[in-house]
Amino acid sequence: MATRLFDAKGVPLEKQLFTWKELAGNTISKLDDDAFTRVRIILMNGIEQQANRFQHHCAMLNGELREALAAVRRVEHHQQTMINWLISPDHSPLETTIAYEQVAIEVTAALAQQEPDDYLAQTYRFGLLEDFDHMYRYSALMDRVEGKDANNILQSYTDIIPGRPTVEEHRAPADDLRTPYDRASANPISKMNALTLVAGEYQTRDYYMNIGPTFTDPVARQLYAEIASIEEQHVTQYASLLDPSESWLEKWLLMEATEAYNYYSCMESETNPWVKAIWERFLEYELGHLQVVANLFQKHEGRDPAEILPTEMPDPIAYQSNREFVRQTLERELNLRARGHQYVDKAQEGEASIAYRSQIHADGVPSEIIAAGYQWHPGTELSRAIRAA
Amino acid sequence: MEKTSHLGMNRTGVDMSPMHSKAMLEGAERVPGDVEANQMLATRRQEMIMEAGTIGSVPMPGTLKGALSSVMKKATGKSPETFINKLGERLAFERMGVRLYEALITKCETLANQQVGAVFTIDDLRRIRADEARHFQLVHDAITSIGADPTAQTPDADVSAVLSSGVLKVITDIRTTVPQSLEAILTAELADTAAWELLVQMAEAMGMSDMAASFREALEQEERHILQVKQWYTQLMTFEAGGKTTRH
């Protein structure tokens, strides 16, 4: 594996080919595969979805790049298909939701710890405590509506306890905006971390917006509506970290590098051998895309990609339980709130967010309704009752 | 054929990761819920039930469009829409039943081994599939005879499809075994039989004796399906558990 980004040419675009059977082939086992295999799959689906979304928007506004964008985007689309179709069909939408929140918690915690910039790391810890609470609310929903234990999905890697209460996460739009990194001085890993989190949260938002209405239980429908709204806030938050003065091609280059870095991280930690082979293959594909975009960057902007990209692949994202880090963050930062671009104690929260909450919570709050008095227990609340009897 | 039950690296239970599970439980026990336990879920459900509409309506039969059938004339005053609703449900269910058996036949042809062959044959499944197709035709004709529309989806057809969507998912999942698929089809057959019993009673109550007789015939066939599928499923599972199995 070449860790020098510019030396590795990857697979040329014209050799990045698929068949339908490959795209919708074997799936992981919900029961037997490690939970982090599913975490990686869900994150990489989101990363590819972001590539697709960005490249479409880029094409809308840059006629001279359309042909190259169409060619790369076709491959990205099929990469996403192959990844998303790895999720086995016995995952219910709510089980997949639990897995999405596990991604949000464990990946955000990992990035918060590897992030060199203090403000960005603070932002990741801030978002982390909110997604952490979503896990608790969805676990209560799963237990109380479907009679299932969320830990069958989590495999004990991730805690199910309240975080910053979802009821208090709803903010006025201006309080979701953050100060962007400076494209000239930020470390490349900071840019890639931010893009990774935008991708993950955007996909989570879209997933909840798609499956929320498929539930029959009225509280389930409302909980998805409520948490989707927070995911929308998180997309606003993380996307506002990106420097808006980066050019379209600079962003495209960074996105390809982010994809390559993420596949490299997945490959390094994957325990399922045939899934690992997919990460290896797609890393080579992304290095191929990077070459295409680097050439376009030189041609259209007359700039050297080395200005933007790290010369070597950074250390891979650590895929492991972050229980202790999350608990320490909970203890220290639970009462933080956002006011404008800054983090303040809850006593200093701005009027606009307080007013927003008071209006939107007027008819009751689904995240409170579903989790009233909930405490996770192995095998569900009913198992605790059996033990107590 | 892969056994339905084999030992392996199932990671879902707490025993597979005792250290992590211990830490997780200790954490959960330390932090109580942030809202007092009460009946909030039930209360919100009640509010929403009170505000909700219905799944949908039964389409207006030909009677109301001026094409009153002689059979329906007899039934006037006996809530024909309820009968049409249930007929629509049966039609949809039997039509799906044909597809379920087709998927099951493909699975059994692919996975069948000596053990399955000793219990039932592909022809046994084909016969049941043919029965389901005939029942579909029977209900189709019944609906047409009373001037209703066999292409419409009635409310109970819709609800019944939601109900049986899990059966379809289990049988078409390429990873499920023959016994797992048989258990799914058994669930469908049990529901089907109860539904035919109801249809027979309804047809009789509406004074449609010919229709009731043909429905009774279908009911008898469905009762035979249950006995067969249940026996196959039991024999295969008994065999897998180490007991003896005998040809049916």
Which helix (H) or strand (E) segment holds residue B184: the answer is: helix B178-205
In sequence order, the β-bridge partners of residue A4 are: A312
Q: Convert the pLDDT of each residue in A203-260 to its tens digit.
A: 999 999 999 999 999 999 999 999 999 999 999 999 999 999 999 999 999 999 999 9
> What is the reported pLDDT for B70?
53
The radius of gyration of chain B's CA atoms, rounded to the nearest angstrom, is 24
- Number of A/B CB contacts below 8 angstroms equals 112
Residue A24 lies in a domain: yes
> What is the reported pLDDT for B79?
79
Residue span of the structural domain in which B87 resides: 36-71+80-240
Q: Convert the pLDDT of each residue in A73-107 to its tens digit.
A: 999 999 999 999 999 999 999 999 999 999 999 99
Rounded to the nearest integer, the mean pLDDT of chain A is 96
Q: Convert the pLDDT of each residue in A13-30 to its tens digit.
A: 999 999 999 999 999 999
Residue A4 lies in a domain: no
HEC sequence for B94-109 = HHHHHHHHHHHHHHHH
Residue A3 lies in a domain: no
Query: Which of the 8 DSSP states describes residue A112?
Result: H
Contacts of B25 in chain A (CB under 8 A): 377-378
Residue B29 lies in a domain: no
Residue A125 lies in a domain: yes
Whether A243 has its CB under 8 Å from any CB of chain B: the answer is: no
Looking at the structure of chain A, the number of domains it has is: 1
Confidence band, pLDDT 50/70/90 cuts, at residue B118? confident
Q: Which residue has the tokens 């024909």?
A: B80
Distinct helix (H) and strand (E) counts, chain A: 14, 2
Q: How many CB atoms lie within 10 A of CB A323?
A: 19
From the candidates A155, A166, A330, which should be mutated to test the interface with B, based on the most B CB atoms within 10 A?
A155
Looking at the structure of chain B, the number of domains it has is: 1
Residue B41 lies in a domain: yes
From the candidates B38, B40, B175, B177, which should be mutated to test the interface with A, based on the most A CB atoms within 10 A?
B40
Q: Convert the pLDDT of each residue in B90-113 to its tens digit.
A: 999 999 999 999 999 999 999 877
Q: Convert the pLDDT of each residue in B192-231 to its tens digit.
A: 999 999 999 999 998 999 999 999 999 999 999 999 999 9
3-state secondary structure of A271: coil
Task: Measure the CA–CA gap between B5 and B111, rounded to whole angstroms.
Answer: 15
> What is the reported pLDDT for B237?
94
Instruction: Give the residue from chain A lying closest to B48, CA to CA.
Output: A218
Which of A29, A163, A38 shows the shortest CA–CA distance to A99?
A38
Whether A273 has its CB under 8 Å from any CB of chain B: the answer is: no
Q: Convert the pLDDT of each residue in A17-72 to its tens digit.
A: 999 999 999 999 999 999 999 999 999 999 999 999 999 999 999 999 999 999 99
Find all residues with CB under 8 Å of A337, minimum gap 6, and list them.
A168, A171, A343, A344, A345, A346, A348, A349, A353
In this structure, what CATH number is given to the domain that contains residue B86? Answer: 1.20.1260.10
3-state secondary structure of A336: strand
Confidence band, pLDDT 50/70/90 cuts, at residue B124? very high
The answer to whether A155 contacts B44, with C-beta atoms less than 8 Å apart, is no
Residue B5 lies in a domain: no
Residue A7 lies in a domain: no
Mean pLDDT of A362-382: 95
Whether B55 has its CB under 8 Å from any CB of chain A: the answer is: no
Rounded to the nearest integer, the mean pLDDT of chain B is 89
Over 50: is that where the pLDDT of B245 sits?
A: no
Amino acid at B246: T
Over 80: is that where the pLDDT of A194 sits?
A: yes
Residue B19 lies in a domain: no
> What is the reported pLDDT for B33?
79
Mean pLDDT of A314-327: 97
Residue span of the structural domain in which A165 resides: 13-388
Residue A2 lies in a domain: no
Task: Measure the CA–CA gap between A299 and A297, rounded to whole angstroms.
Answer: 6
Confidence band, pLDDT 50/70/90 cuts, at residue A388? confident
- Asked if A112 contacts A142 with a C-beta cutoff of 8 angstroms, the reply is no
Whether A31 has its CB under 8 Å from any CB of chain B: the answer is: yes
- Asked if B193 contacts B167 with a C-beta cutoff of 8 angstroms, the reply is no
Task: Measure the CA–CA gap between A283 and A12, rounded to whole angstroms.
Answer: 12
Task: Measure the CA–CA gap between A350 and A348, rounded to whole angstroms.
Answer: 6
Q: Convert the pLDDT of each residue in B43-95 to its tens digit.
A: 999 999 999 999 999 998 765 554 546 556 555 556 789 999 999 999 999 99
Task: Measure the CA–CA gap between A268 and A270, rounded to whole angstroms.
Answer: 6
